Amino acid sequence: MAGKTSKTAAKVGQKIAAEPTAAEAKLLSGGNPQIPKGYGDAPVQAYIAAMPGWKSDVGRRLDVLITRTVPNVYKAVKWNSPFYGIEGEGWFLGIHCFTKYVKVAFFRGASLQPLPPGHSKQKEVRYLDIREDDEIDEAQLAAWVEQASQLPGERM
């Protein structure tokens, strides 16, 4: 019996060791971190930690603002991007790294007032692109997050 426990512990240790740390995360095109799909805060924090350079600070600021604005927010990493939503209701916002900016996607952004500035090929989606030297209007961003969290979420 002790031998089986040792083998099991060794296998679990191998699986844990196989998961990349934020520092080891591969960066995909545009510098977007490749983080395994997962639900909850931990995979989102791993994504944020793996965001390159100044983008990681932007990711932390966004995560704090979203969590403060929507205390019951549900988080996940899907398709190498953090998603924020209301559990059982769907996703209202996603974040993605590009070479020169961090894109915040409001999945029902066409219903927000005022409209976020970035257009999309998808009728309902609006974007906010944050570049390295941009000033973030946290009051406006929080207002959009609050509005977005009250709209029907996207099922993905």
Rounded to whole angstroms, the Cα distance separating 62 from 57 reads 9
The pLDDT score that the predictor gives to residue 8 is 38
Q: Model pTM?
A: 0.83
Instruction: Tell me what the mean pLDDT of segment 84-103 comes to.
Output: 96
Residues 22-81: pLDDT tens digits? 556 788 877 889 999 999 999 999 999 999 999 999 999 999 999 999 999 999 999 999
- Residue 138, pLDDT > 90, answer yes
pLDDT classification of 5: cutoffs 50, 70, 90: very low
**What pLDDT, on a 0 to 100 scale, did the predictor assign at position 15?**
36
Residue 106 scores a pLDDT above 70: yes
Q: Is the pLDDT of residue 146 over 80?
A: yes
| Mean local confidence (pLDDT), 120-143 | 97
Q: Residue 17: what pLDDT?
A: 35
Long-range pairs, 83-92, Cβ under 8 A, ≥24: 83/156, 85/153, 85/154, 86/149, 86/153, 89/152, 89/153, 90/152, 90/153, 90/154, 90/155, 90/156, 91/153, 91/154, 91/155, 91/156, 92/145, 92/148, 92/149, 92/151, 92/153, 92/154
Q: How many helices (H) and strands (E) does the chain have?
A: 4, 6
In the chain, the percentage of residues whose pLDDT exceeds 70 is: 85
Integer angstrom CA distances of residue 87 from 24, 39, 70, 74, 83: 30, 11, 12, 6, 11
Domains and CATH numbers, the chain: 32-149 (3.90.1150.200)
Q: What is the pLDDT of residue 18?
A: 39
- pLDDT at residue number 92: 98
- What is the Cα–Cα distance from 96 to 81, expressed in whole angstroms? 5
Please list the alpha-helical segments (H only) found in the chain. Answer: 2-18, 41-50, 54-69, 138-149
